[in-house]
Structures are given as C-alpha cells and as structure tokens.
Amino acid sequence: MSLDAARLEEDRLARERALALASFIVEAPAGAGKTELLTQRTLRLLAVVRHPEEVLALTFTNKAATEMRDRILGSLERAARGEVPTQSHKRLTCDLALAVLAHDAAQGWSLLQHPGRLRITTLDALCASLARQMPYLSRFGNQPGVTDDAEVHYATAARRTLEMVEQSDADGEVVAAALAFMANDAGRLERLLVSMLGKRDQWLPHATRLDGADLRDEVEAGFALLLGRDLAAVAALLDADRQRALLPLARFAAANAPGALDPLCDRTMPLTADPDDLPAWRALAKLLLTDTGTLRKSVDKRIGFPADKVFAEQKAAMKALLDELAGVSGLAEALQAVRGSPLPQFGEDSWFTVSVFTRLLRLAAGQLWLAFQEAGEVDFIEIASRASLALGDDENPTDLAQALDYRIQHLLVDEFQDTSPGQVELLARLTRGWQADDGRTLFVVGDPMQSIYRFRKADVGLFLDVRERGIGDIRLEHLRLFRNNRSHPAVVDWVNQAFPAIFPVADDTALGAVRYAPSAATREAVADSGVLIHPVLADGSNDAEADEAVLVRQLIENARAADPHGRVAVLVRARKHLDALVAEIRRAAPALRFQAVEIEALADRQHIQDLLSLFHALQHRADRVHWLAVLRAPWCGLTLADLHALVAGKKTATVWELMHDPERLAALSDDGRQRLAHVAGVLGLAFAERGRQPPRRWLEAVWLMLGGPQCLETPAALADVQAFFALLDERAASRRLDAETLATRVAELFAPPDPLAGEAVQMMTVHKAKGLEFETVIVPGLHRETGGNESPMLLWDEVTGDDDRDYLLVAPMPAKGDDDSGGDEPSLYDALRRLEAARSAHEDERLLYVAATRAIRRLHLVGVARLDADKDGGVKPPAAGTLLRRLWPGLADAVFAEAAARVGAAGDGVTATDSGIDPASFAPLLLRLRAAQVPAALQGLPDLPRPAENPPATEALPETLTLEASVGTLLHRCLELLAGRDLSAWGAERITRQLPVYTRWLCQHGHGEAAAAQGAAVVVAALQTTLASPAGRWLLAAHDEDGAEQAWTSRDGASAVNHVIDRIFVANGERWIIDYKTVHEPPAQLPARAEGFRPQLERYAALFAGDRLPLHLAIFFPVQGVLIELPRRGN
C-alpha cells in the first residue's frame, strides 16, 4: 500500500469514528472537508436526542453558522424529496439525514417547518445570550447594546483615568507615578491605556492577582523556569564532549580578547543548565555567534584569535570546530536565546513600576465600565466576560449554568484552533461536570496549521493543550484527517515536500509551534498544475516593486487566458503590499477588472474626500480648508484663479461670507460666478433645512442637488458613496456624529469591491482568504516586512512548570534609556517580547501554509531579492521575518541563484521594466461638471450679485494656459521623473512611445488635438536631445544631496516666500543650482537669454548664503540640450 493510500485509509477510519457518541478533537487540514464532517456529526446527534435544542454547534462567524445551517437543512430537504446522491460521502450524509427525519417524525419536531430549533450560532452570540439571561449576575441590569467601535469609550476611560492625577489620594499618586515614568508624556500614556483596554481580557484576570505579597517570588520563579529551559536546550546541543573540545579554545580567545569573554577565562568544567552559568553561556554565545545571530564561519583577532602564525594551530582548531557545529540543528537559535535571556529577578524600581502600571490599569478598567454605562453599550470583550460571570465558577455554579447543563447534551465547536483563553474557559464552564460515560459529548474540529489570528487573541497552544489534557474533566480522543479534496496532486505534493522544513519539528504549546501534518490528494492529476517560484532581482538600478507588479499583472493575464472560467486570487500579507499592483493594472491594463476585498481605503477615494469636506463645511462655516475643497470639487469646479480671487487677503472672513461679497464676485470669471451661484443656492437650502431631517437624508439631499451622482465615474464609486451614507446613518443612530469622529470612522473603512468585476480576479489578504479556494493563486510580496506596533506598557504571560503549575510572568516596559540592570543586560520585558516574537514567527509559517493551500491548480510565489555586489552571481538572503525567508533554505534560494547566474552571464545587469509612468499623475487635473450638467431643478436659482461697473479682472486672461506654457510644464514634469533614475533604460525609442501619453496630458489641459500633438512632439524631441547631450545626462544623473522640483521657503520681512528649484545637487564637493527654460532660439543667443534669468537664480543662491560649499548657477535649455553657467558676480 502506497503512503497516500495508507493515509486515505486512516482518514476513512477517522471519519467513521468521528460519528460515534464520544468526545473528539479532530485535526482537519486544508481541503479536508471538515464542514461536511460537522454536518454529518450534527445529523448523527439529532437522530438520538430528545430535543433538537440539546445539540449546540458553535462557529466563529455568522457566515460559517449560516453555511452549516444551510447544509443541514439542505440535507434534510433532499432526503425528504427522496434524492439519492452518487458520491459515497454524500450518500452517508443522506442516510444520516433520513435517520433524523424518522426521529423527527417520532418526536413531533417538524424541523423543516421550524428550522429555528436548530441551535447553530456564533460564540459571540452565545455570550450575548448568556449575559441576557442572567442580567443581575452579569452586572448589566438593563440590556446594553453591543458595539464593534469601542475605541471612543477606551479613549474616554483613558482620559478620565489620567485626570485623576488631580486627586490627593492613592489613586492620584498612582497616576502621578505613571506620568513620571513616561517623562510626563500624557499623550503617550493615554495611547498606551487605550491599547491595553482593547485587550483587557488578556491582563485583567492577572491584574487582580498582583496584590499578593508573595507574587513577586512567583513571577521571578516563572522567569527562572524560562531561563532554565533555555539553558537546558543549549546544554543538550553543546554536550559535555563538545564542550571539552570547545572550552580550551574559549579560554584562549578570552585571554586574547578580554571583556565580553571574561567569564570563560578560567572555565574548565562544562557549562550546565544552572542559572549561575548564565554569564559563561552568554560569553560562549558571543564567541560562536555573529551579531546577526548566525554561527560564525571564521575567526579573527576581534574575538581572540590573532593573525600571528604562532597561533595558527588554535585558529585552525577553532575553524574546524565551527564547521562541525554548523551541522548541529538549532544550535544558533538556542545560543541566541541564551544571549537574550535576563537574570530572573526584578530591580526594586522595576517591580514598583509593575505595581503602578497594574493599579493604573485597574483604574482605567473601572473608568471604562462607567463609560459603558453612560453610553448604554459595551464591547464584545465585556460581553464574553459577563457571560462567564453569568455561569459562575466551579464552586458556585449559577442557576443558569445548571439549567444549561441539563439542556445541552452535545457541544460542537468549529475552527477550534482560533479560540482564545477566555473562550476555552467559557467552554469549560459550559461542560462543567460532564463525564466520559454520561452520554454527553464535546466535539471540536480545526487545523492548528491554519491558526493565523493571534491579533484576535487566538492561541493555537490551546488546541495543542486540549488535545493532550482535554477541557475540564473531559478527555477528547484525537483523530486526524488526511484527505485534500481541494488541490490537484502537483500542488499537494509540493506542499507536503516543502512545509516539513518550514514548520518546526515538534509541537510547542508555550511558543505556539505546530509541526507539519501531511495530506493526501484525492483529485486526479492534470496538466499545467503545480507550484512556481518567480524571482525578481534588484541591483539598485531598477524599481523592483514596479517590476514585481508588472510580473504579477502578466501572471493574472496569462491565467485568465489559459483558463477563462477559473478564478484567480492575489493574496498578500498586508494590504499595502497591493498598492503597486493596483496602480500597475490601472495604468497598463484598465480593462482588467478585479475585486479588491477590504484592500483600498475608502478615505483615499476622491469622491469620499469631497463628501467629508462637504460635511465638515456644513458643520463649521469657519473651516476654510474644507470650504475651499467644496468649491474645488467637481460639482463646483472653480479654477485656482477664481478661488484665489474669491478668498485672497481675507483671512478673517468665512468663505460663505465671501461667496456673497459683491466685490469678490466681481473678480471671478463668468463661468466661476455661474458655478458659485449654483453651489451657494444649494448650500443656502442646506442651512435652512439643517436639523429638520435625519443627518443622512439631509446630507444626501444636498449631495444630490449639487449634482454629486453626475460626478461619479464608475458604479464602484456609487457603492463607495452608499457605504459612506450608511456609516453616517450608523453614527447618527449611536448619537456620536461629529465631523472629526466621522472622518476617523471613514478612515477605518474599505472601499466595497467593484460590483462589475465579478469573481474572476480577486485581491485580498491571506487572512481574508482563509476558507476560500481558487484555481490560480498568486502570492506576491514575499520579501515584504510588516510594520510593528507600539510596545505595550506591560507584558503578561504564563508558563507551565513540570508540575503542571502555571506561573504568572509580567514585566513593565523599560523607561527611555533604561532597563532592569542599567547596562547591556537583557530586560525581563525583552524576554517576554522574545516569546511573542517566536510565536509571531511560527504564525508566519502557518500564514504561508494558508496562502499555499488556497490553490486548486496553480500556485505562483513571487518575491524580490537583492543581488550581492560582493559575490559574482550571488543573492543576498531575504530579511528575517519575511515569508521569503521561510521559503529560502532549500527552496527559493536555488531559484534566485539560478536567476542571478543568468543575469551575470548576460553581463548587462537587471533589466528595468518599462513602467510607462504618466506625468499627468504628478499634476492633479481639475475634474468638474459642465455647466449644462447642473441639475435642471437648480438652474433657475438667482445669480449672485455682480456689479456691472466692475468687470472681472480675470476676463482678459485665458482660462487655459498657452500651449507654450503647457509644454514647459510637461517638460519639467518629465525631467523631474528622470532625475536620479537609471537613464540607460530611457532610450530614444522608449521616449517616442510616450508620445500618446504626452498628447493626452496636453488635451486634458485644454488644448485641441492638433495643438496637443504638436506640443507633445516638442516634448519628445526635447527629451531626446537632453538625453543625447553630455550636459543633460550629467545633470540628470544621481548625485549627492540631489533634488528635483525641490521646494524651499525664505523670509522677506514678515512674509514667507516660496521657491521651487528645478534641479539641485552636489558634484565633486560643489553645489549646483540649475533651472530649466524652454525656448526656441539658436544656440548662439542662449547665453544672453540665460543672463536674463540671473535674478531668479540669485534668489535661489541666497538660500545657501551660509553654505560652505562652492556654488554654481546654471540654466539648462532642454530643447537645445545646452547648459549655460552664470558666473557668480564678485567671485
């Protein structure tokens, strides 16, 4: 029997066993069909209980609960219709459904007519139900609402806590001490409190324990336990035999490099796991490890091995020993852990800080409860806490707990790998008193390899712990499934081969480490399936992120062409990793529609920014910035000249007042007055109706009257606007509607997916993709890192001793420039952060697994690596903490090395992808409605006053720039793009290909097609001339301190003067200031023309009056490709 056949047979037996009336914990890897198993288990239980309510199934999301309910009811309905499926697993489901229908008829349930009797719900919904049933014990009283936007309450509680510093009591002293620790940075302390209140379920149970006099001893004992385990691990790898060979060399090194190696000077006995040996272990780690935590490959005088020939024997022996140790798996990590291990004891100041922070957090928790009471709503953390309280504890179970103990006979939990400690505690209270032989069962199913929600407080260690020790008095039989019904064999085989090396070799409950469990494919093998790693190389001359985006766009297009009906997913670790791809598709393939699932920020959409400005302006008439934005928005579209004429020099008047000032209106263009009249009429009606209608209806009516819908370019934009108005409704209902809060909430929302895109191409984070599947999966950005968060004020943890006793660990953040020992000694806080970093690293392994197992047929892995200039054909390893680093050893490294070798053989470096950057992106266009698009109902509004005797001063000026000026502006934009870039990628042919781009830009700026084509030809010719001239290439090349279109500000008396320098840099120790001028004259006349611009350049030179570098001023004429230096007068 083959290995896969054996796994499939074990899988079959496990599924049969899972239907027995016993308690189980089931491991179901990706694609195993666990939802079908849960359905079958639920049907099996419904066929034996007295009431359907005795079976309770819990999920994490409403979507999962709905899917499970639909599957059960669908099975019953098909069985009732007599449908007999052909597939074996579906036949089993049908047989179980028939048994339920027979039992249903005997008991008189009528489940198909009363499906509400099926108890399938989420954990959050269960908690809310429990709290409602015991309002007194749960301390709710009247039932509050539940909000998923509790940040405002956290902020209120934090602010009120800090205000207690004014009190002359113990609480005031606590706040004062905390502020002193933060160097009186109240803003930072408030942010930290807000963050801690949002995860108080992790620390509040511990905070109540820190009043005990002997708790410090317990915490220090916990840290000693951690240290002992670290020392034991490294001592097992560096056993006595290896140490006997190592210690003489270590003594030699210590004698020649005193300082960090001093503890090894007289060491003759092997090091042990005794904490007293910690200094010697650290010294040994210093000797064996590089600063980056890898084992040394060579030694030199810096670590005690001089270059003298007399010491060649010791040096050779140490090199041989290092070669031997390189083969000891895990040694570098164990030594690095010891190097970062602190002494397990608190300084007095540090323990005082623990006490202060703990008491401060308890005060903040109390203030939060008061804020909840005032608002009449709570968050989900409070709901879960009160639900556990409603059930009581082991010694004092409540009446509700006893009632539930009678009503619930069978409990099923889906996605158990994503449970938090509080949720497992809730399950323990629900099953309190259950025995193995009393007929009640607990069934939990999940996949620890897919636990990726630590940011939601999920702890995969709980799955491992329950698997070994059970929940309460219930021991669960462990079953493992192996089938992968999703992916084709080529994908499954690659995953089975790759991930054993990526995952740890053993489970570790404390660190959340999960070893890999293989799968067996059940689909038939097909052509064109499998896994490909696509290397993108960077050498500093190319934009690697843009190159990667082009590659991914091509992969999407190829997948769509090869399989028009197959779905393609682009999965990333963080939303920002899709920015370059989205821009690339919109630039190069606008017809390629895609759904971005919670990727693009709603607040980044211009039409949403316009709506926010409208709301701000209507709320605050003195908010000049937002009023100007309203007048600039497409429904009005005033030009910059008209805006300046309207408001310039009137800083104290509101824009609304100036919109009714006859003198100001007289200075506007005819078109500007007409547009302003339209907007003023609408806003006047808005002010009159304010407060008479609900906020959404009021603002939406204003938007409609302004012509907002006509300003939207796509149906997706309309979906954005609907999401904005829905949020406005929600804020109004919560009685927390003000401009600032609305803007904050909008910033937290994502634009809805394009409604016309369909599901053919989707982009999302890996977290969003969990549970989904796609024919083709592309995972770019493997080299990208994620940003860190602000360190919490206290870190909490627990460690279980060999006697199964749990020890509390806690450490305060060190004060700035301080730590527990005042030197290089690692702090206890660092030790806990190291634990968190290890857990995050293991979750990254699982994140990569989840991404890979979404693929049905094809998986593309894409990342960037930098070429190593020091090694011909070499590639630098990816940064630690990236997904590419996980794939590197034995997988990606060979692929990238091969690509680098091809580049080296070609001899021309990395080829930059033509990004085709559109200079129009650097000059926001004025998009606005035509006058004819003003809603008909508003065209009859009276014009605003306009004095006939004072014609607008701007009427003599053209609305659009002259063609010559536009050409100059466009040429400046192009030169700005080229400055400092790799000019070898910009040949004459590539510039010629930009001709349509330049023509379109000039058309958008008000020029006819013929004139725009003429101007674009001038730009192309000027760029080609510039890049063909030595002077042009020199000034555009990368230099020290270089800048393009760089803005500077100086003072002229009390006024600020702005300057924009076209090109500035330092070459050969001398500063150059260069201005571009577009003229069409013979080269002989250019020196005289350049001299005419001297005053402008002298003003720029004055900005550097105190600069010690020699200064050169020059004019560059791109049409002629000539650089004219202006000699400094007086120099």
String of DSSP letters for 934-1003: S-GGGTTSPPPP--TTS--TTTTS-SS--HHHHHHHHHHHHHHHHTTS-GGG--HHHHHHTHHHHHHHHH
pLDDT at 1002: 82
Instruction: Tell me how far apart the alpha carbons of residues 367 and 158 are, in angstroms, rounded to a whole number.
Output: 8
> Are 516 and 502 spatial neighbours (Cβ–Cβ below 8 Å)?
yes
Q: Which residue has the tokens 């769509």?
A: 560
User: Is residue 118 within 8 Å of 111, Cβ to Cβ?
Assistant: yes
Q: What is the 3-state secondary structure (H, E, C) of 726-757?
A: HHHHHHHHCCCCCHHHHHHHHHCCECCCCCCC
Q: Side chain identity at 128, as an amino acid letter?
A: A
* DSSP element (H, E) containing 88: helix 88-107
What distance in Å separates the CA atoms of residue 1011 and residue 960, rounded to the nearest whole number?
13
CA distance 707 to 695: 18
SS3 category, 1037: coil
Q: What is the pLDDT of residue 233?
A: 92
Helix, strand, coil in percent for the chain, rounding step 5: 50, 15, 35
Query: Topology of domain 602-748, per CATH?
Result: PCRA; domain 4 (1.10.486)
pLDDT at 994: 84
- Quickly tell me which residue has 């219709």 as its tokens: 81
Tell the burial category of 541 from Cβ atoms under 10 Å away from its Cβ (0-12, 13-18, 19+): middle
Q: In this structure, what token pair is assigned to residue 66?
A: 């709905």
Domain with CATH 3.90.320.10 in the chain: 963-1126
Give the SS3 label for residue 911.
Answer: coil
Q: Which among 1021, 1048, 728, 782 is positioned nearest to 896, based on CA atoms? A: 782
Place of tokens 């005031």: 172
Q: How large is the angle between the packed helices 544-562 and 579-588, nearest 10 degrees?
A: 60
- Fold topology of 530-597+760-787+827-905: Rossmann fold (3.40.50)
Mode of pairing for the β-strands spanning 855-868 and 874-875: antiparallel
Measure the CA–CA gap between 602 and 748, rounded to whole angstroms: 8
Per the CB < 8 A criterion, the answer to whether 110 and 78 are in contact is no
- Cα(999)–Cα(915) distance, integer angstroms: 18
> What is the pTM assigned to this prediction?
0.77
Distance in angstroms (rounded) separating the CA atoms of residues 147 and 884: 38
Exposure string for 687-716, b = 16+ CB within 10 A, e = fewer: eeeeeeeebbebbbebbebbbbeebeeeeb
Residue 697 tokens read as 């209806």
Looking at residue 517, its amino acid is A
Give the whole-angstrom CA distance, residue 307 versus residue 314. 11
492-495 long-range contacts, Cβ below 8 Å, gap at least 24?
492/519, 492/520, 492/521, 493/521, 494/530, 494/531, 494/859, 495/519, 495/531, 495/849, 495/852, 495/853
Which residues, 6 or more positions from 5, have their beta carbon under 8 angstroms from its beta carbon?
520
Q: How many Å separate Cα 203 from the centre of its chain?
A: 25
* 217 phi, psi to nearest 5 deg: -60, -40
All CATH 1.10.486.10 domain ranges of the chain, comma separated, are 602-748
- How far is residue 509 from each of residues 75, 221, 225, 711, 835, measured CA to CA in Å? 38, 19, 15, 56, 12
Strands 1040-1052 and 1055-1067: antiparallel
Compute φ and ψ for 778, nearest 5 degrees: -120, 125
Which of the residues in the chain have pLDDT under 70?
Answer: 1, 134-142, 210-213, 393-406, 541, 733-736, 788, 816-824, 872-873, 904-927, 929-961, 1004, 1049, 1051-1056, 1130-1131
Contact predicate 1083/1120, CB 8 Å: yes
Beta-carbon contacts of residue 1074 (< 8 Å; ≥ 6 apart): 1035, 1062, 1063, 1064, 1113, 1114, 1115, 1116, 1123
What is the third-level CATH fold of 963-1126? Lambda Exonuclease; Chain A (3.90.320)
Question: Dihedral sign, CA of 926, 927, 930, 931?
Answer: negative
Q: How far apart are CA 660 and CA 654, in angstroms?
A: 10
Give the model's pLDDT for residue 943. Answer: 33
Q: Are 463 and 420 in contact (CB under 8 A)?
A: no
Q: Which CATH number fits domain 3-128+382-485: 3.90.1720.10, 3.40.50.300, 3.40.50.10470, 3.40.50.1860?
A: 3.40.50.300
State the span(s) of the chain assigned CATH 3.40.50.300.
Answer: 3-128+382-485, 530-597+760-787+827-905
pLDDT reported for residue 400: 61
Reading across the β-sheet that carries 1111-1117, which strands appear in turn?
1040-1052, 1055-1067, 1070-1076, 1111-1117, 1122-1126
Contact between residue 974 and residue 1019 where contact means Cβ atoms under 8 Å apart = yes
Amino acid in position 1083: P
CB 480 within 8 A of CB 37: no
